[in-house]
Chain A
Amino acid sequence: MIHFDNICKRYPSGYDALNRINLRLHKGQMAFLTGHSGAGKSTLLKLIAMIERPTRGQIFLDGVNLNNISNRKIPYIRRNIGIIFQNHHLLYDRPVFDNVAMPLIIQGYRRQEIRKRVRAALNQVGLLSKEKSDPITLSGGEQQRVGIARAIIHKPLLLLADEPTGNLDPELSLEIMQLFARFNQVGTTVLIASHDLDLIKHTGFPSISLQDGQVAHNGLPFTVSNN
Protein backbone atom coordinates (compact mmCIF):
# COMPACT_ATOMS: atom_id res chain seq x y z
CA MET A 1 0.00 0.00 0.00
CA ILE A 2 2.76 2.42 0.95
CA HIS A 3 6.26 1.98 -0.42
CA PHE A 4 9.08 4.41 0.40
CA ASP A 5 12.04 3.96 -1.90
CA ASN A 6 15.15 5.75 -0.68
CA ILE A 7 13.30 8.87 0.38
CA CYS A 8 15.10 12.05 1.40
CA LYS A 9 13.38 15.23 2.50
CA ARG A 10 15.31 18.45 2.91
CA TYR A 11 13.28 21.47 3.99
CA PRO A 12 13.99 24.80 2.30
CA SER A 13 15.81 25.81 5.47
CA GLY A 14 18.41 23.20 4.53
CA TYR A 15 17.47 20.80 7.31
CA ASP A 16 17.37 17.10 6.38
CA ALA A 17 14.21 15.84 8.06
CA LEU A 18 14.31 12.41 6.40
CA ASN A 19 17.32 10.58 5.10
CA ARG A 20 17.18 7.46 2.89
CA ILE A 21 13.95 6.00 4.16
CA ASN A 22 12.96 2.58 2.83
CA LEU A 23 9.63 1.26 4.00
CA ARG A 24 6.83 -1.02 2.95
CA LEU A 25 3.41 -1.09 4.55
CA HIS A 26 1.12 -3.63 2.97
CA LYS A 27 -2.56 -3.36 2.30
CA GLY A 28 -4.55 -4.03 5.43
CA GLN A 29 -1.62 -3.61 7.80
CA MET A 30 -1.70 -1.36 10.83
CA ALA A 31 1.48 0.11 12.28
CA PHE A 32 2.78 2.86 14.55
CA LEU A 33 5.43 5.39 13.75
CA THR A 34 7.50 6.37 16.78
CA GLY A 35 10.59 8.40 17.52
CA HIS A 36 11.79 11.42 19.44
CA SER A 37 10.47 14.85 18.78
CA GLY A 38 11.93 16.08 15.53
CA ALA A 39 12.68 12.57 14.31
CA GLY A 40 10.61 13.15 11.18
CA LYS A 41 7.33 11.37 11.92
CA SER A 42 5.08 14.21 10.79
CA THR A 43 7.26 14.79 7.76
CA LEU A 44 6.86 11.18 6.70
CA LEU A 45 3.07 11.37 6.96
CA LYS A 46 3.03 14.68 5.06
CA LEU A 47 4.93 13.07 2.21
CA ILE A 48 2.26 10.38 1.92
CA ALA A 49 -0.54 12.94 2.01
CA MET A 50 1.39 15.03 -0.56
CA ILE A 51 1.45 18.02 1.77
CA GLU A 52 5.18 17.95 1.14
CA ARG A 53 7.15 16.53 -1.76
CA PRO A 54 10.28 14.40 -1.33
CA THR A 55 13.64 15.87 -2.29
CA ARG A 56 14.87 12.51 -3.52
CA GLY A 57 13.47 9.01 -3.96
CA GLN A 58 10.05 7.68 -4.84
CA ILE A 59 6.88 6.99 -2.93
CA PHE A 60 4.31 4.53 -4.21
CA LEU A 61 0.78 4.71 -2.91
CA ASP A 62 -1.32 1.74 -3.93
CA GLY A 63 1.11 1.26 -6.80
CA VAL A 64 0.95 4.89 -7.97
CA ASN A 65 4.24 6.78 -8.10
CA LEU A 66 3.46 10.07 -6.34
CA ASN A 67 6.27 11.82 -8.21
CA ASN A 68 4.14 11.50 -11.34
CA ILE A 69 1.17 13.25 -9.76
CA SER A 70 0.82 16.90 -10.74
CA ASN A 71 -0.40 19.43 -8.19
CA ARG A 72 -3.74 19.53 -9.96
CA LYS A 73 -4.23 15.81 -9.37
CA ILE A 74 -3.31 15.87 -5.68
CA PRO A 75 -6.95 16.17 -4.51
CA TYR A 76 -7.79 12.87 -6.17
CA ILE A 77 -4.93 11.15 -4.36
CA ARG A 78 -6.06 12.62 -1.05
CA ARG A 79 -9.56 11.27 -1.52
CA ASN A 80 -8.16 7.81 -0.90
CA ILE A 81 -6.63 8.88 2.38
CA GLY A 82 -8.17 9.78 5.71
CA ILE A 83 -6.03 12.18 7.71
CA ILE A 84 -6.30 12.79 11.46
CA PHE A 85 -4.37 15.52 13.23
CA GLN A 86 -3.45 16.23 16.76
CA ASN A 87 -5.26 19.56 16.60
CA HIS A 88 -8.17 17.95 14.78
CA HIS A 89 -8.69 20.93 12.37
CA LEU A 90 -12.44 21.11 12.87
CA LEU A 91 -14.34 24.10 11.51
CA TYR A 92 -16.09 25.93 14.32
CA ASP A 93 -18.49 27.85 12.10
CA ARG A 94 -20.66 24.79 11.43
CA PRO A 95 -22.17 21.91 13.41
CA VAL A 96 -20.64 18.47 13.84
CA PHE A 97 -22.76 17.00 11.08
CA ASP A 98 -21.47 19.48 8.48
CA ASN A 99 -17.88 18.94 9.56
CA VAL A 100 -18.14 15.20 9.13
CA ALA A 101 -20.00 15.52 5.82
CA MET A 102 -17.28 17.63 4.14
CA PRO A 103 -15.40 14.82 2.34
CA LEU A 104 -18.66 13.54 0.83
CA ILE A 105 -19.81 16.99 -0.26
CA ILE A 106 -16.48 17.55 -1.97
CA GLN A 107 -16.91 14.31 -3.87
CA GLY A 108 -20.44 15.17 -4.94
CA TYR A 109 -22.41 12.56 -3.03
CA ARG A 110 -26.16 12.88 -2.87
CA ARG A 111 -27.89 14.24 0.15
CA GLN A 112 -29.57 11.05 1.37
CA GLU A 113 -26.35 9.14 0.99
CA ILE A 114 -24.50 11.83 2.93
CA ARG A 115 -27.04 11.77 5.76
CA LYS A 116 -26.88 8.00 5.98
CA ARG A 117 -23.10 7.85 6.04
CA VAL A 118 -22.60 10.73 8.48
CA ARG A 119 -24.97 9.04 10.93
CA ALA A 120 -23.13 5.75 10.55
CA ALA A 121 -19.71 7.38 11.06
CA LEU A 122 -20.87 9.36 14.10
CA ASN A 123 -22.37 6.18 15.48
CA GLN A 124 -19.04 4.40 15.10
CA VAL A 125 -17.24 7.06 17.15
CA GLY A 126 -20.09 7.18 19.66
CA LEU A 127 -21.24 10.73 18.92
CA LEU A 128 -24.54 10.22 17.15
CA SER A 129 -26.32 12.34 19.75
CA LYS A 130 -24.01 15.29 19.03
CA GLU A 131 -24.62 15.69 15.30
CA LYS A 132 -26.25 19.09 15.71
CA SER A 133 -23.80 20.41 18.31
CA ASP A 134 -21.20 23.03 17.57
CA PRO A 135 -17.71 21.49 17.77
CA ILE A 136 -16.63 24.20 20.22
CA THR A 137 -19.06 22.83 22.81
CA LEU A 138 -17.45 19.37 22.72
CA SER A 139 -14.65 18.07 24.95
CA GLY A 140 -11.16 17.49 23.53
CA GLY A 141 -11.74 13.76 23.17
CA GLU A 142 -15.09 14.31 21.50
CA GLN A 143 -13.60 16.78 19.05
CA GLN A 144 -10.86 14.28 18.25
CA ARG A 145 -13.51 11.66 17.55
CA VAL A 146 -15.39 14.04 15.24
CA GLY A 147 -12.10 14.44 13.38
CA ILE A 148 -11.85 10.66 13.11
CA ALA A 149 -15.41 10.38 11.85
CA ARG A 150 -14.58 12.94 9.15
CA ALA A 151 -11.43 10.99 8.21
CA ILE A 152 -13.25 7.68 7.74
CA ILE A 153 -16.58 8.86 6.30
CA HIS A 154 -15.51 8.35 2.68
CA LYS A 155 -14.14 4.86 3.42
CA PRO A 156 -10.51 5.65 2.60
CA LEU A 157 -8.08 2.88 1.75
CA LEU A 158 -5.49 4.42 4.03
CA LEU A 159 -5.81 6.14 7.39
CA LEU A 160 -3.00 8.43 8.57
CA ALA A 161 -3.02 9.80 12.12
CA ASP A 162 -0.49 12.24 13.57
CA GLU A 163 -0.50 12.13 17.39
CA PRO A 164 -4.23 11.43 17.51
CA THR A 165 -4.15 10.93 21.28
CA GLY A 166 -1.70 13.72 22.08
CA ASN A 167 -3.83 15.47 24.67
CA LEU A 168 -6.20 12.74 25.78
CA ASP A 169 -6.21 10.73 29.00
CA PRO A 170 -4.96 7.11 28.78
CA GLU A 171 -8.42 5.60 28.91
CA LEU A 172 -9.74 7.68 26.06
CA SER A 173 -6.49 7.14 24.14
CA LEU A 174 -6.96 3.42 24.34
CA GLU A 175 -10.54 3.75 23.21
CA ILE A 176 -9.46 5.68 20.16
CA MET A 177 -6.75 3.16 19.36
CA GLN A 178 -9.39 0.43 19.54
CA LEU A 179 -11.43 2.47 17.11
CA PHE A 180 -8.50 2.46 14.67
CA ALA A 181 -8.08 -1.27 15.18
CA ARG A 182 -11.73 -1.74 14.23
CA PHE A 183 -11.24 0.16 10.96
CA ASN A 184 -8.16 -1.94 10.34
CA GLN A 185 -10.21 -5.10 10.84
CA VAL A 186 -12.49 -4.15 7.96
CA GLY A 187 -9.50 -3.73 5.67
CA THR A 188 -8.29 -0.13 6.07
CA THR A 189 -4.52 0.31 6.14
CA VAL A 190 -3.58 2.40 9.19
CA LEU A 191 -0.40 4.32 10.03
CA ILE A 192 -0.28 6.25 13.30
CA ALA A 193 2.49 8.55 14.53
CA SER A 194 2.68 8.53 18.29
CA HIS A 195 4.93 9.18 21.27
CA ASP A 196 2.98 6.97 23.59
CA LEU A 197 5.12 3.81 23.81
CA ASP A 198 3.05 2.29 26.62
CA LEU A 199 -0.10 2.63 24.63
CA ILE A 200 1.57 1.17 21.53
CA LYS A 201 2.79 -1.84 23.49
CA HIS A 202 -0.68 -2.29 24.94
CA THR A 203 -2.34 -2.46 21.53
CA GLY A 204 0.17 -4.99 20.25
CA PHE A 205 0.53 -3.52 16.75
CA PRO A 206 4.01 -3.33 15.17
CA SER A 207 5.92 -0.06 15.16
CA ILE A 208 8.53 1.64 13.03
CA SER A 209 10.87 3.84 14.96
CA LEU A 210 12.57 6.85 13.43
CA GLN A 211 15.70 8.54 14.68
CA ASP A 212 17.15 11.70 13.19
CA GLY A 213 15.33 11.13 9.95
CA GLN A 214 16.33 7.48 9.54
CA VAL A 215 14.62 4.18 10.30
CA ALA A 216 16.16 2.98 13.55
CA HIS A 217 13.97 -0.08 13.97
CA ASN A 218 11.39 -1.64 11.71
CA GLY A 219 9.02 -3.87 13.67
CA LEU A 220 6.82 -4.71 10.72
CA PRO A 221 6.48 -8.46 10.21
CA PHE A 222 8.38 -9.62 7.17
CA THR A 223 5.93 -10.53 4.49
CA VAL A 224 6.54 -11.55 0.93
CA SER A 225 6.28 -8.42 -1.12
CA ASN A 226 3.29 -8.56 -3.39
CA ASN A 227 3.62 -5.04 -4.75
Chain B
Amino acid sequence: MRNNPRKKSRLRSYFSHHLRTALASLGRLYAQPAATLMTAAVIAIALALPVGLYIALDNVAKLSSDWDGSTQISLFLHTHVKNSDAQKLMNQLQTHKQIKKIDFISKEQGLKQFRETSGFGDALKYLDSNPLPIVLVVHPKITGNKADATTLLVKELGKNKLVELAQLDVQWVKRLYTLLEIANRSIWVVSTMLAIAVLLIIGNTIRLDIQNRREEIEVSKLIGASDAFIRRPFLYTGLWYGVIGGLLATIVTLVSLALVENPIHKLALLYSSDFRLHGLGFVKTLLLILISCSLGLIGSWIAVSRHLKEIEPS
Protein backbone atom coordinates (compact mmCIF):
# COMPACT_ATOMS: atom_id res chain seq x y z
CA MET B 1 0.00 0.00 0.00
CA ARG B 2 2.92 2.34 0.70
CA ASN B 3 6.20 3.17 -0.88
CA ASN B 4 8.44 2.28 2.07
CA PRO B 5 12.12 3.02 2.34
CA ARG B 6 14.30 0.12 1.32
CA LYS B 7 15.03 -2.74 3.69
CA LYS B 8 18.72 -2.37 4.39
CA SER B 9 18.53 1.31 5.12
CA ARG B 10 15.47 0.60 7.27
CA LEU B 11 17.48 -1.74 9.47
CA ARG B 12 20.20 0.85 9.86
CA SER B 13 17.61 3.49 10.55
CA TYR B 14 16.01 1.17 13.13
CA PHE B 15 19.24 1.03 15.14
CA SER B 16 19.94 4.70 14.78
CA HIS B 17 16.39 5.33 15.95
CA HIS B 18 17.03 3.21 19.06
CA LEU B 19 20.21 5.12 19.73
CA ARG B 20 18.48 8.45 19.28
CA THR B 21 15.59 7.41 21.52
CA ALA B 22 18.00 6.27 24.23
CA LEU B 23 19.92 9.54 24.04
CA ALA B 24 16.73 11.58 23.98
CA SER B 25 15.53 9.78 27.12
CA LEU B 26 18.85 10.48 28.79
CA GLY B 27 18.61 14.11 27.66
CA ARG B 28 15.21 14.43 29.31
CA LEU B 29 16.64 13.12 32.58
CA TYR B 30 19.59 15.50 32.25
CA ALA B 31 17.24 18.41 31.70
CA GLN B 32 15.83 17.85 35.20
CA PRO B 33 18.94 16.99 37.18
CA ALA B 34 17.46 17.53 40.64
CA ALA B 35 14.43 15.32 40.11
CA THR B 36 16.51 12.67 38.35
CA LEU B 37 19.17 12.59 41.05
CA MET B 38 16.56 12.37 43.78
CA THR B 39 14.88 9.36 42.20
CA ALA B 40 18.23 7.75 41.40
CA ALA B 41 19.40 8.37 44.98
CA VAL B 42 16.36 6.62 46.41
CA ILE B 43 17.04 3.68 44.11
CA ALA B 44 20.73 3.73 45.04
CA ILE B 45 20.02 3.67 48.76
CA ALA B 46 17.50 0.89 48.38
CA LEU B 47 20.14 -1.12 46.51
CA ALA B 48 23.15 -0.17 48.66
CA LEU B 49 21.45 -1.25 51.87
CA PRO B 50 21.19 -4.97 51.11
CA VAL B 51 24.57 -4.83 49.38
CA GLY B 52 26.10 -3.40 52.56
CA LEU B 53 24.46 -6.11 54.66
CA TYR B 54 25.68 -8.72 52.22
CA ILE B 55 29.26 -7.46 52.42
CA ALA B 56 29.14 -7.40 56.23
CA LEU B 57 27.81 -10.94 56.37
CA ASP B 58 30.29 -12.14 53.79
CA ASN B 59 33.16 -10.77 55.86
CA VAL B 60 31.87 -12.28 59.10
CA ALA B 61 31.58 -15.62 57.32
CA LYS B 62 35.16 -15.34 56.05
CA LEU B 63 36.38 -14.31 59.47
CA SER B 64 34.59 -17.18 61.21
CA SER B 65 36.02 -19.70 58.78
CA ASP B 66 39.44 -18.46 59.89
CA TRP B 67 38.44 -19.15 63.47
CA ASP B 68 37.17 -22.50 62.44
CA GLY B 69 40.79 -23.51 61.82
CA SER B 70 41.49 -22.81 65.44
CA THR B 71 38.69 -25.01 66.67
CA GLN B 72 40.11 -27.36 69.27
CA ILE B 73 38.88 -30.08 71.56
CA SER B 74 40.31 -30.34 75.04
CA LEU B 75 40.41 -33.87 76.45
CA PHE B 76 40.67 -33.72 80.25
CA LEU B 77 41.91 -37.15 81.35
CA HIS B 78 41.08 -38.68 84.70
CA THR B 79 43.53 -37.47 87.38
CA HIS B 80 44.78 -41.00 88.03
CA VAL B 81 45.90 -41.49 84.41
CA LYS B 82 49.66 -41.67 84.16
CA ASN B 83 51.84 -39.88 81.64
CA SER B 84 52.72 -43.13 79.84
CA ASP B 85 49.09 -44.15 79.38
CA ALA B 86 48.23 -40.68 78.20
CA GLN B 87 51.12 -40.85 75.73
CA LYS B 88 49.79 -44.15 74.40
CA LEU B 89 46.32 -42.67 73.94
CA MET B 90 47.83 -39.75 72.13
CA ASN B 91 49.74 -41.96 69.71
CA GLN B 92 46.63 -43.97 69.09
CA LEU B 93 44.50 -40.88 68.38
CA GLN B 94 47.08 -39.42 66.07
CA THR B 95 46.15 -42.03 63.47
CA HIS B 96 42.50 -40.89 63.61
CA LYS B 97 41.28 -39.64 60.23
CA GLN B 98 39.63 -36.52 61.57
CA ILE B 99 42.51 -35.37 63.72
CA LYS B 100 45.20 -33.11 62.44
CA LYS B 101 47.38 -32.63 65.49
CA ILE B 102 47.45 -33.26 69.22
CA ASP B 103 49.20 -31.20 71.89
CA PHE B 104 50.18 -32.90 75.12
CA ILE B 105 49.87 -30.82 78.27
CA SER B 106 51.28 -32.60 81.25
CA LYS B 107 50.14 -31.92 84.83
CA GLU B 108 53.26 -29.83 85.45
CA GLN B 109 52.89 -27.78 82.29
CA GLY B 110 49.23 -27.21 83.13
CA LEU B 111 50.11 -25.98 86.57
CA LYS B 112 52.76 -23.69 85.19
CA GLN B 113 50.35 -22.20 82.66
CA PHE B 114 47.69 -21.81 85.29
CA ARG B 115 50.12 -20.04 87.61
CA GLU B 116 51.15 -17.63 84.87
CA THR B 117 47.74 -16.78 83.57
CA SER B 118 45.31 -17.06 86.46
CA GLY B 119 46.88 -14.79 89.01
CA PHE B 120 46.32 -17.39 91.71
CA GLY B 121 49.99 -18.32 91.58
CA ASP B 122 50.61 -17.68 95.29
CA ALA B 123 47.58 -19.66 96.40
CA LEU B 124 48.84 -22.68 94.50
CA LYS B 125 51.92 -22.85 96.69
CA TYR B 126 49.78 -24.07 99.55
CA LEU B 127 48.55 -27.14 97.66
CA ASP B 128 50.16 -30.48 98.61
CA SER B 129 49.77 -32.11 95.25
CA ASN B 130 49.03 -31.04 91.71
CA PRO B 131 45.22 -31.18 91.28
CA LEU B 132 45.30 -30.71 87.51
CA PRO B 133 44.71 -33.54 85.04
CA ILE B 134 46.68 -34.30 81.93
CA VAL B 135 45.12 -32.53 79.00
CA LEU B 136 45.27 -33.56 75.32
CA VAL B 137 44.44 -30.69 73.00
CA VAL B 138 43.04 -32.15 69.79
CA HIS B 139 43.05 -30.06 66.61
CA PRO B 140 40.46 -31.60 64.29
CA LYS B 141 40.73 -31.60 60.54
CA ILE B 142 37.95 -29.44 59.26
CA THR B 143 36.61 -29.41 55.77
CA GLY B 144 34.21 -26.63 54.94
CA ASN B 145 31.82 -25.36 57.52
CA LYS B 146 30.90 -28.71 58.98
CA ALA B 147 30.33 -27.92 62.59
CA ASP B 148 28.39 -31.18 62.96
CA ALA B 149 31.39 -33.37 62.15
CA THR B 150 33.30 -31.68 64.94
CA THR B 151 30.46 -32.30 67.37
CA LEU B 152 30.44 -35.99 66.51
CA LEU B 153 34.19 -36.16 67.07
CA VAL B 154 33.78 -34.58 70.50
CA LYS B 155 31.20 -37.22 71.42
CA GLU B 156 33.38 -40.04 70.16
CA LEU B 157 36.42 -38.86 72.09
CA GLY B 158 34.34 -38.34 75.24
CA LYS B 159 33.51 -42.07 75.29
CA ASN B 160 37.16 -43.08 75.80
CA LYS B 161 37.77 -44.64 79.23
CA LEU B 162 40.73 -42.43 80.04
CA VAL B 163 38.84 -39.25 79.22
CA GLU B 164 36.88 -37.59 81.95
CA LEU B 165 35.65 -34.68 79.88
CA ALA B 166 35.83 -33.78 76.19
CA GLN B 167 35.10 -30.16 75.57
CA LEU B 168 34.76 -28.26 72.33
CA ASP B 169 36.40 -24.93 73.02
CA VAL B 170 34.56 -23.00 70.42
CA GLN B 171 31.06 -24.23 70.67
CA TRP B 172 29.86 -20.78 69.88
CA VAL B 173 31.21 -21.32 66.35
CA LYS B 174 28.26 -23.57 65.76
CA ARG B 175 25.90 -21.00 67.16
CA LEU B 176 27.54 -18.41 64.96
CA TYR B 177 26.89 -20.54 61.90
CA THR B 178 23.23 -20.73 62.81
CA LEU B 179 23.11 -16.98 63.30
CA LEU B 180 24.85 -16.44 59.98
CA GLU B 181 22.30 -18.65 58.29
CA ILE B 182 19.48 -16.61 59.80
CA ALA B 183 21.17 -13.36 58.80
CA ASN B 184 21.68 -14.73 55.30
CA ARG B 185 18.00 -15.46 54.88
CA SER B 186 17.04 -12.11 56.37
CA ILE B 187 19.17 -10.39 53.79
CA TRP B 188 17.28 -12.19 51.04
CA VAL B 189 13.98 -11.12 52.52
CA VAL B 190 15.15 -7.51 52.89
CA SER B 191 16.62 -7.53 49.36
CA THR B 192 13.38 -8.81 47.87
CA MET B 193 11.35 -6.17 49.65
CA LEU B 194 13.71 -3.40 48.62
CA ALA B 195 13.75 -4.67 45.03
CA ILE B 196 9.96 -4.41 45.02
CA ALA B 197 10.30 -0.89 46.43
CA VAL B 198 12.67 0.01 43.58
CA LEU B 199 10.17 -1.38 41.07
CA LEU B 200 7.44 0.75 42.62
CA ILE B 201 9.59 3.88 42.63
CA ILE B 202 10.55 3.49 38.99
CA GLY B 203 7.03 2.49 38.00
CA ASN B 204 5.59 5.56 39.67
CA THR B 205 8.17 7.88 38.15
CA ILE B 206 7.45 6.52 34.69
CA ARG B 207 3.71 6.80 35.31
CA LEU B 208 4.13 10.53 36.02
CA ASP B 209 6.31 10.84 32.95
CA ILE B 210 3.60 9.22 30.84
CA GLN B 211 1.01 11.62 32.23
CA ASN B 212 3.20 14.61 31.45
CA ARG B 213 3.63 13.46 27.87
CA ARG B 214 0.01 12.61 27.30
CA GLU B 215 -0.38 15.07 24.43
CA GLU B 216 2.66 13.70 22.65
CA ILE B 217 1.43 10.13 23.05
CA GLU B 218 -1.98 11.01 21.65
CA VAL B 219 -0.54 12.76 18.63
CA SER B 220 1.89 9.92 18.03
CA LYS B 221 -0.94 7.40 18.06
CA LEU B 222 -2.95 9.56 15.68
CA ILE B 223 -0.22 9.72 13.10
CA GLY B 224 0.30 5.98 13.20
CA ALA B 225 3.00 5.29 15.78
CA SER B 226 3.14 1.63 16.77
CA ASP B 227 2.83 0.63 20.42
CA ALA B 228 6.49 -0.39 20.44
CA PHE B 229 7.49 3.07 19.19
CA ILE B 230 5.50 4.79 21.92
CA ARG B 231 6.76 2.44 24.63
CA ARG B 232 10.39 2.80 23.70
CA PRO B 233 11.34 6.19 25.22
CA PHE B 234 9.75 5.23 28.55
CA LEU B 235 11.54 1.90 28.66
CA TYR B 236 14.82 3.68 28.00
CA THR B 237 14.03 6.16 30.77
CA GLY B 238 13.51 3.23 33.15
CA LEU B 239 16.73 1.65 31.97
CA TRP B 240 18.64 4.89 32.55
CA TYR B 241 17.23 5.17 36.06
CA GLY B 242 18.54 1.65 36.61
CA VAL B 243 21.98 2.54 35.27
CA ILE B 244 22.29 5.75 37.28
CA GLY B 245 20.83 4.14 40.41
CA GLY B 246 23.19 1.18 40.08
CA LEU B 247 26.25 3.38 39.62
CA LEU B 248 25.26 5.54 42.58
CA ALA B 249 24.72 2.43 44.69
CA THR B 250 28.23 1.26 43.75
CA ILE B 251 29.69 4.62 44.73
CA VAL B 252 27.79 4.67 48.03
CA THR B 253 29.04 1.16 48.78
CA LEU B 254 32.65 1.97 47.91
CA VAL B 255 32.64 5.14 50.01
CA SER B 256 31.09 3.35 52.98
CA LEU B 257 33.67 0.56 52.73
CA ALA B 258 36.51 3.07 52.53
CA LEU B 259 35.18 4.77 55.66
CA VAL B 260 35.16 1.62 57.81
CA GLU B 261 38.12 -0.16 56.26
CA ASN B 262 40.88 1.54 58.23
CA PRO B 263 39.32 1.25 61.69
CA ILE B 264 38.56 -2.42 61.04
CA HIS B 265 42.09 -3.12 59.95
CA LYS B 266 43.40 -1.40 63.08
CA LEU B 267 41.04 -3.44 65.22
CA ALA B 268 42.20 -6.61 63.49
CA LEU B 269 45.83 -5.67 64.19
CA LEU B 270 45.00 -5.28 67.87
CA TYR B 271 43.85 -8.89 67.79
CA SER B 272 47.04 -9.70 65.87
CA SER B 273 45.03 -10.77 62.88
CA ASP B 274 45.76 -9.63 59.38
CA PHE B 275 42.09 -9.61 58.56
CA ARG B 276 41.11 -7.18 55.82
CA LEU B 277 37.66 -6.11 54.71
CA HIS B 278 36.55 -7.75 51.47
CA GLY B 279 34.60 -5.52 49.09
CA LEU B 280 32.15 -6.51 46.35
CA GLY B 281 34.71 -7.25 43.69
CA PHE B 282 34.40 -6.53 39.99
CA VAL B 283 32.02 -9.30 38.99
CA LYS B 284 29.58 -8.67 41.80
CA THR B 285 29.65 -4.92 41.13
CA LEU B 286 28.73 -5.64 37.52
CA LEU B 287 26.00 -7.92 38.78
CA LEU B 288 24.69 -5.14 41.01
CA ILE B 289 24.45 -2.74 38.08
CA LEU B 290 22.88 -5.44 35.94
CA ILE B 291 20.24 -6.10 38.58
CA SER B 292 19.62 -2.38 38.87
CA CYS B 293 19.16 -2.08 35.11
CA SER B 294 16.77 -5.02 35.07
CA LEU B 295 14.73 -3.48 37.87
CA GLY B 296 14.59 -0.21 35.91
CA LEU B 297 13.45 -1.96 32.78
CA ILE B 298 10.89 -4.15 34.55
CA GLY B 299 9.53 -1.22 36.58
CA SER B 300 9.06 0.93 33.50
CA TRP B 301 7.59 -2.01 31.60
CA ILE B 302 4.95 -2.46 34.30
CA ALA B 303 4.08 1.25 34.25
CA VAL B 304 4.02 1.40 30.46
CA SER B 305 1.85 -1.66 30.00
CA ARG B 306 -0.60 -0.36 32.57
CA HIS B 307 -0.84 3.29 31.59
CA LEU B 308 -0.16 3.63 27.87
CA LYS B 309 -3.35 1.81 26.99
CA GLU B 310 -5.37 4.41 28.86
CA ILE B 311 -4.25 7.13 26.49
CA GLU B 312 -6.16 7.02 23.23
CA PRO B 313 -6.83 9.89 20.87
CA SER B 314 -10.40 11.16 20.95
Contacts and interface: CB of A to CB of B under 8 A. Distances in A.
A106 B223 contact: yes
Contact of B219 (A79, A102, A110): A102
Interface stretch (A19-27, A70-78, A118-126): A70-78
B224 A75 contact: yes
A106 B3 CA distance: 15
A83 B222 CA distance: 8
Interface in B174-203: none
Nearest to B221: A75
Contacts of B83: none
Question: How large, as a class, is the contact surface on chain B?
Answer: 20 to 34
B5 A108 contact: yes
A102 B2 contact: no
29 contacts: A51-B314, A75-B221, A75-B226, A75-B227, A78-B222, A78-B223, A79-B2, A80-B1, A81-B224, A83-B222, A89-B215, A89-B218, A89-B219, A89-B222, A91-B215, A91-B219, A102-B219, A102-B223, A103-B223, A105-B17, A106-B220, A106-B226, A107-B5, A108-B5, A109-B13, A110-B5, A110-B9, A110-B12, A157-B1
Contacts of A78: 221-224
Interface in B189-245: 215-216, 218-227, 229
Contacts of A109: 5, 13
B220 A102 contact: yes
Contacts of B227: 72, 75
Nearest to B225: A106
B32 interface: no
A62 B1 contact: yes
Nearest to A82: B223
Interface string B6-18: 0001101110110
A169 interface: no
Contact of A49 (B4, B5, B220, B222): B222
A211 B12 CA distance: 51
B67 to A, nearest CB: 63
For chain B, what secondary structure do more than half of its interface residues adopt (helix, strand, loop), or is it mixed?
Answer: helix
Nearest to A109: B5
The 10 A-B residue pairs with the shortest CB-CB distance in the complex, in nearest-first order: A78-B224, A79-B224, A106-B225, A75-B224, A103-B223, A75-B226, A108-B13, A110-B13, A89-B219, A51-B313
Given A76-B226, A78-B222, A89-B219, 13 more contacts: A72-B227, A75-B221, A75-B227, A78-B224, A80-B1, A81-B224, A83-B222, A102-B219, A105-B17, A106-B223, A109-B5, A110-B5, A110-B13
B24 to A, nearest CB: 11
A150 interface: yes
Given A108-B10, A109-B5, A91 B216 contact: yes
A108 B4 CA distance: 9
Contacts of A106: 220, 223-226, 229
A61 to B, nearest CB: 10
Contacts of A108: 5, 10, 13-14, 17
A87 B216 CA distance: 14
Contact of A75 (B12, B16, B216, B225): B225
Contacts of B218: 89
A151 B314 CA distance: 17
Contacts of A198: none
A80 B314 CA distance: 19
A171 interface: no
B10 A76 contact: no
Contacts of A83: 222-223
Nearest to B309: A71
- Residue in A51, A80, A105, A155 whose Cβ sees the most chain B Cβ within 10 Å: A105
Nearest to B1: A80
Interface in A47-106: 49, 51, 62, 72, 75-81, 83, 89, 91, 93, 102-103, 105-106
B31 to A, nearest CB: 10
A111 B226 CA distance: 20
A39 B13 CA distance: 44
Nearest to A90: B219
A78 B220 CA distance: 11
Contacts of B14: 108
A49 B221 CA distance: 11
Contacts of A81: 224
A77 B14 CA distance: 20
Given A91-B216, A105-B17, A150 B223 contact: yes
